[in-house]
Amino acid sequence: MVKIGIVPTQVDDMKESVSLAYPEAVLAAGGLPVLFPVSHEETRLALLLSQVDGLLLTGGGDVEPALYGEERLPVCGEASPERDAMEFPLLRMALARKMPVLAICRGMQVLCAALGGTLYQDLPTQFSAEISHSRMDRPADPIHPVRLLAGTKLAVIIGTDTLDVNTRHHQGAKTLPDCLIPSAVAPDGLVEGIELTEYPFAVGVQWHPESMQARYPLHRKIFDAFIRACEASAAQGLTD
What digits encode the pLDDT tens for the residues 136-166?
Answer: 778 788 989 999 999 999 999 999 999 999 9
pLDDT tens profile 39-79: 999 999 999 999 999 999 999 999 999 999 999 999 998 88
Q: Which domains does the chain have, with CATH numbers?
A: 3-239 (3.40.50.880)
- The catalytic residue among 105, 112, 169, 230 is 105
Could you tell me if 2 and 234 are in contact, meaning their C-beta atoms sit under 8 angstroms apart?
yes
Active site residue 210: yes
Active site residue 169: no
- The catalytic residue among 169, 210, 219, 230 is 210
Instruction: Report, in this order, helix, strand and coil percent for the chain, each rounded to 5.
Output: 35, 25, 40
Could you tell me if 50 and 99 are in contact, meaning their C-beta atoms sit under 8 angstroms apart?
no
- For 98, 196, 200, the CA distances from 236, given in Å and listed in that order, are 11, 20, 12
Distance between CA atoms of residues 50 and 136, nearest Å:
36
pLDDT tens profile 86-132: 999 999 999 999 999 999 999 999 999 999 999 999 999 998 877 77
- The catalytic residue among 82, 208, 219, 230 is 208
pLDDT of 236 reads: 87
pTM for the full predicted model: 0.96
Active site residue 208: yes
